[in-house]
Amino acid sequence: MPLLENGHVTEDRWAQAIAGEALPAGAVIVPLDRLEEGLARPKDALLGVAIGPDVDVAVLRPALPRLALVAVNFPTFRDGRAFTQARALREHLSFTGEIRATGTPLPDQYEFLLRCGVTSVQTDRAEDVAVWQQAHDIISIAYQPSVLHERAQGLGLRRFLGK
Amino acid sequence: MSTDTATLPVGRYAYDEVDRTFLSQRVAQFREQVGRRVAGELTEDEFKPLRLMNGLYLQLHAYMLRVAVPYGMMGSDQMRELAHIARTYDRDYGHFTTRQNIQFNWIRLEDTPDILERLAGVNMHAIQTSGNCIRNVTCDEFAGAAADELLDPRIHAEILRQWSTLHPEFSFLPRKFKIAISGSPHDRVAARFHDIGLVAHPGPDGRAVFDVFVGGGLGRTPIIGVKLRDNLPEEDLLAYLEAVVRVYNAYGRRDNMYKARIKILVQALGVDQFREKVDAEFAQMNRADYRLDPAIVEGIRARFGIPALDAPANAADRLDSDRKADARFDRWVRTNTHAHRHEGFISAVVSIKPDGGIPGDVTADQMDLIAALADDFSFGEIRVTHMQNVVLGHVRKDQLRDLWLRLEGAGLGTPNIGLVGDIIACPGLDYCALANARSIPIAQKLSARFANPELQENIGTLRINISGCINACGHHHAGHIGILGVDKRGEEFFQLTLGGSAENDVAIGQIIGPALPEDETVDAIARLIDTYLVLRNEGEAFIDTYRRLGAASFKDAVYAPA
């Protein structure tokens, strides 16, 4: 599937670091163990980092001002740790750059991803983008706060998801 | 949108158009997911968590649909719809569960979207009755009625139901997550056998505060929950629970499903280190974002119907004279009622454990009858208990005998609440794909053996719990007498545990010795009970005699028949 950003297909402007090769000059996503190498590049070169689900995102705190992207990973759609990582990046580390979900999340998780602060999805799944869009559109009401700060509407905990 | 309080359902949250819109969207979503599964766009592996989050299991012989009964409360209109579903889509019956839900055991996948649509028509659903997410929040079956209650826990149970519904961060946890809440000093919710147990009481300013227990549970590794926090202010309830579940989501084990519950994490870290992590998370959170404003609580409270508790001045006297006039009625009142906060009212427990019957099974006709009785005697309000019975919460004392007569007429007047016949049993090998042994026949034989109500009352309080495998859905570790089905070279054997309790005197039952073959198990329990009757001091319950004398006094009775 192509890269999905805010419900739209976009061109991926990011290159992935290739093991054993020097980092390219432009926008590049490095694995966590090459973060120092990425940070050593010129300050205007766009840098992203890919982390596994077992990483405490607090380790990114010193580097975060230089990072334009953090890629979180779903080794399987059942492993929900990346939801917590994304939320901690937004809520505790005030990260405002792109959070990209990689691995194999399901389209049925799309709304959860967005509400935890993920902004783009890159998966190998075969579904048409329309399935993801539909998963986003189908539910318009939520019952708890999220990083998107949907405005509470009327009674209780409810809020409209603004679609 | 109507907010006419005269039409609010008693004892539960009244849906409005927004809630109904959400439910219908959820049904449409599941219909679409079933469609993609049937079309092969979703593998069974991918579909599984989606159907589980809509309460749909694949059992031994068919699909099972578990319908949510939030905090055990439902209305007569909802019960009638469940009866209709039982008749139309199942084999004329349903089964009340220990988590206060109801499940249907013979469901076809392709009927499920239609069933969910019918449920949505009466503001019911099956959301998060399964799956690795926050499950139905359970509550005291006498909430809002009990004389000993400090605070009605259903308001906060509803808040937690809403908060946990399709929670974006906590829908793919390492394992299932169960929360119980009590507002009484007498623990009727097994707070310390839950992932989170909340015990609510009024704080200095009158707002609710919560004692928070974490990491309790039964299953393969029974553990009593530990106190994580005293006097949590109401306004921090959601923030604090977010912090607890977030720590669990980040650090709970995912490599082994049998070690994935929060109790294993709490044990591995130790409660102090676990608390440190929760506190660190809590301290980082923007508490304003997560603040549970009193206005929100009061807004939700205002959606609950309140029963108009008007009873004639002589209601209590009338009950006294009715009891004196009829010894059988008097016995049922002794065993099957609970003191109400209003002197003219009483709570009645309808036993779903008839002599020789299957614990928790209820026919469609019985559902309709319970609905009619709820309308006639208890403001249309019905409660499912974690003991798999039904409570009519607010019955006028002068009308109690009329209620009992109608229950008797329908075979629902069994006077055995809290006694030998009030057995909790999992579905076992008759239904369940995990079970090693059949729980139901043992429950039926025990119930038939001790059917005599005088004998039962003489034996007194005794909790028997039966699980068909080590996953412990029958909570055998929490039974005064626990029975665990095990497989020995292809034959069903049963292991006895003694001394468990899920109440204030919480304890995990201990294995008394080697497992017994099925046909010896009931006799062994009968000898165990005979031994207790000989050894007990006057007025002493089985559990207290066991604690006073220890297992040795009972072991001979089990293994050395006279």
- pLDDT for A32 beyond 60: yes
Residue B397, domain member (yes or no): yes
Are B352 and B285 in a shared domain? Answer: no
Q: Which of B172, B285, B296 sits opposite A79 (nearest CB)?
A: B172
| CATH number of the domain residue B144 falls in | 3.30.413.10
Minimal CA separation from A48 to chain B, in Å: 22
Bridge partners (DSSP) of residue B223 are B217
Q: Which chain B residues are Cβ-neighbours of A146 within 8 angstroms?
A: 168
Q: Which chain A residues are Cβ-neighbours of B294 within 8 angstroms?
A: none
pLDDT digits (tens, 9 = 90+) for B509-537: 999 999 999 889 999 999 999 999 999 99
CB interface of A with B, residues 62-81, below 8 Å: 77-81
Element (H, E) at A136: helix A129-137
Cβ contact, residue pair A112, B168, below 8 Å: yes
Return the pLDDT at A127. 72
Residue B256, domain member (yes or no): yes
Return the pLDDT at B4. 44
Cβ contact, residue pair A84, B254, below 8 Å: no
Q: What is the mean pLDDT of chain B?
A: 94
Return the pLDDT at B495. 96
Are B106 and B213 in a shared domain? Answer: no
Higher pLDDT, B136 or A154: B136
Minimal CA separation from B381 to chain A, in Å: 23
Domain count, chain B: 4
> Which tokens sit at B424?
């909790």
* Residue at token pair 């799956």: B131
Are B254 and B212 in a shared domain? Answer: yes
* Residue at token pair 């019960």: B79
| CATH number of the domain residue B391 falls in | 3.90.480.20
The ipTM value here is 0.96
Return the pLDDT at B427. 87
Return the pLDDT at B2. 39
- pLDDT for B6 beyond 70: no
pLDDT digits (tens, 9 = 90+) for B394-446: 999 999 999 999 999 999 999 999 999 999 999 888 888 888 999 999 999 99
Compute the distance between CA of residue B493 and CA of residue B487 in angstroms, rounded to an integer: 6
Return the pLDDT at B544. 97
Residue B255, domain member (yes or no): yes
Q: How many helices (H) and strands (E) does chain B have?
A: 19, 21
Q: Which chain A residues are Cβ-neighbours of B284 within 8 angstroms?
A: 91-92
Write down all domains in chain A, each with its CATH number in brackets: 3-160 (3.20.20)
Q: Which chain B residues are Cβ-neighbours of A140 within 8 angstroms?
A: 21-22, 25
Q: Is B264 exposed, middle or buried (0-12, 13-18, 19+ CB in 10 A)?
A: buried
The parent domain of residue B58 ranges over 5-121
How many residues are given for chain B? 562
Compute the distance between CA of residue B478 and CA of residue B302 in angstroms, rounded to an integer: 36
Minimal CA separation from B296 to chain A, in Å: 5
Q: Which chain A residues are Cβ-neighbours of B22 within 8 angstroms?
A: 139-141, 143
Cβ contact, residue pair B28, A91, below 8 Å: no
Residue B216, domain member (yes or no): yes
Are B219 and B276 in a shared domain? Answer: yes
B500 and B477 Cβ atoms separated by less than 8 Å: yes
Binned at pLDDT 50, 70 and 90, residue A163 comes out as: low
Give whole-number Cα distances, B130 to A37, B53, B64, in Å.
45, 5, 11
Binned at pLDDT 50, 70 and 90, residue A1 comes out as: low
Cβ contact, residue pair A80, B299, below 8 Å: no
Cβ contact, residue pair A156, B300, below 8 Å: yes
pLDDT digits (tens, 9 = 90+) for B216-262: 999 999 999 999 999 999 999 999 999 999 999 999 999 999 999 99
Element (H, E) at B345: strand B345-350
Q: What is the mean pLDDT of residues A151-160?
A: 83
Maximum Cα interatomic distance, chain B, rounded to a whole number of Å:
71
**Does B8 contact A at CB distance below 8 Å?**
no
Percent of chain B with pLDDT over 90: 89
**Does A18 contact B at CB distance below 8 Å?**
no
Residue B359, domain member (yes or no): yes
Compute the distance between CA of residue A3 and CA of residue A24 in angstroms, rounded to an integer: 20
Q: Count of CB atoms within 10 A of residue A26's CB?
A: 10
Cβ contact, residue pair A84, B246, below 8 Å: yes
Cβ contact, residue pair A155, B246, below 8 Å: no
Q: What is the mean pLDDT of residues B452-458?
A: 96
Q: What is the mean pLDDT of residues B41-67?
A: 89
Are B334 and B259 in a shared domain? Answer: no
Binned at pLDDT 50, 70 and 90, residue B1 comes out as: very low
pLDDT digits (tens, 9 = 90+) for B288-306: 999 999 999 999 999 999 9
Residue B435, domain member (yes or no): yes
Q: Rounded to the nearest 10 degrees, what angle do helices B17-38 and B112-121 cross at?
A: 180
Q: Which of B162, B163, B169 sits opposite A116 (nearest CB)?
A: B169
Are B538 and B434 in a shared domain? Answer: yes
**Contacts (Cβ under 8 Å, ≥6 apart) of B188:** B140, B141, B142, B182, B386, B503
Work out whether strand A98-103 and strand A67-74 pair parallel, antiparallel, or are unpaired. Answer: parallel
